[in-house]
Structure 1
Amino acid sequence: MRTLARGRGRFVIAGTAILASIGLLAGCTGTGAEEEDVVDQGTSVEENAESGDTVVIGFSGPAADHGWLGAINSGAQAAAESFDDVELRVAEGTNDANAQIAAVETFINDGVDAIVLLPTDGAALTEVAIEAMQAGIPVINVDREFSSPFAARTTILGDNYGMGVSAGTYICEQVGDNPDAVVAEIAGIDSLPLTQDRSQGFEDALSDCGLEVSARVAADFTVAGGEAAASQLLAANPQIDAIWNHDDDQGIGVLAAIESSGRDEFIMMGGAGSRNAMEAIQADDSVLKATVIYPSTQAADGIALARLIAQQKTVGDLVTPSVPNRVVLDAPVVTKDNVEEFIDLSFES
């Protein structure tokens, strides 16, 4: 069985880790006739693990100007290397939608067997993804959704709303017994739907324990932006009980601002799951006590599912003989108590 390094198999689908087999019920006649399957279970875990016809997969993502995106790219390549029947063609990462469209058009012209695409802009890449689908090339959409259901065979997403729920639930557990607790939020880029989803989930979870966001600032997923936003937040709020920072990369700047301020009366929670955040949680020597995972394994999952689709195989642990059209990964909370389970899945900021 081929797998990437993972923590107790929570959400990595790379290699054949997703393909744990389930036995299916079999029926027989009352006269002792030979047993026969009730349903066609598709391909088994053993069949999926076997080498098949070589499939050529095109992969395109944004520029790796962020630790999480770097991990997305390296994860896709590691997943492809774990199979001896996958040839991966990687387009140069770009934040220019037109350049990414051109890369996908090249994949189409080359007649690849499947495309795994994390679009720099889902709406802008929708038309070319539809073009690929119409050419008979299955598209696996990662992280940022297209604006049409016809643009992808399968979509793999992290759970942004779930991140907010997980963060809010953790903070409720820590300070919820204080109805006057001051809860602060350092968001990412406010114009992005993912930021809006995270904030909504956070607000909804806090409301369940009678808390609300008392102070909120937005950053830009960068170290400098995180430091500036945190400095603003701390200056405006002399007392804080808990902070949720949406992104561990910008969290480096957030922690720098906190250290400069000399403040430590609050707990802080991060987001995404970087290695430096997990190491700080492990050391337990700062205000950072937890983070919530936003899987950087999504493109690796995409490679594994693209291989199954291109080889006309199915997910071996589903009764329905298919590959799902939509996969939403979970958003677990990492604390000092369970960090060992997740640290191998962390990414470098």
Structure 2
Amino acid sequence: MSYVKVKQLTKRFGSNTVFENIAFTIEKGEFVTLLGPSGCGKSTLLRSLAGLNQVDAGQIKVNDKNITNEPPQNRGIGMVFQSYALFPNMTVEGNIAFGLKMQNVSKENIRQKVANIIELVELKGKEHQYPHHLSGGQCQRVALARALVVKPQILLLDEPLSALDARIRKHLRQQIRDIQKELNLTTIFVTHDQEEAMIMSDRIFLMNQGEIVQQGSPETIYTKPINEFAASFMGQYNLVSAKKAKDLFGIHVDSKVAIRPESIYVREPGRVYGSHVSAPTLVTVKSHQLLGSVIRYQVTTQGCELTVDLLNRSSERLLEPGSELELMFNLNELQPVSAA
């Protein structure tokens, strides 16, 4: 039996419908990410699950209990915000203990629980410091500890890493995932960052304009986009019309096809390619970007512009604008996509 069940959930602000008839299930201990562009409804959906926004229709069940009309404090849900939302006049210890005090937990139990959670989030030695003495990453760990210490049924994370620099983000997202696995905590995470979603999730719910347009494992969402939006949002997919697909790949299709930049190869003289690889196509380099271990080329051929990612083996591999090379396409990686 699914741990979280959402049925026909609808939320409106006046005449604006944010989402309508949203439905999904989540298993216990699963890490699910709501991924999508700004304004797609993902944060409003998260806040509706938390009870911070009242829904206009539908039902939310957790562990077979209907919590649709329960106040936030009775839902057994912990939430971490992008803005930390810490009490500036309380120490790290005081911030973390706040929820336990509201539950009338004994002082001795509070002391023990807070000490345990401080160790879990690696804040030992910071117990008596105030938020203004902490870094952004440390403040976010305090917010995480405060949500975890009350042992919520579900943990909701609303873009908690977006205000942090890249190095701290990478460390903290791994720490969150490790803690989530250790506690077997059902978690719903909101982000607009595709890489973050791919790394952290068991499943991704890809949202656009108030709808979940596709859901599945990170691998499925990335390698098998269901439509043009999914293909364009999940990376640098090349979208090729049916007519161009016939010219470039020698195939007959009724819709556009998507191909990933890393599924396009430079022809190597003397190498024998299998039947899953297309015949060579001559292209002209338009520009290039050095992305560390990858060189990203924009190339043109037959009136079509493509993005090609090649492994950066040495600086000698950099091809200047105007250079010509022969490309081959992995036909097994072609993915037909619908317009909507």
Whether TM-score is above 0.5 comes out as no
TM range, smaller chain: under 0.3
Q: Which structure has the greater CA radius of gyration?
A: 2
Higher helix fraction: Structure 1 or Structure 2?
1
Structure number with the bigger relative contact order (C-alpha 8 A, sep ≥ 6) is: 1
When you count strand as a share of all residues, which structure comes out higher?
Answer: 2
TM-score (norm 2): 0.27
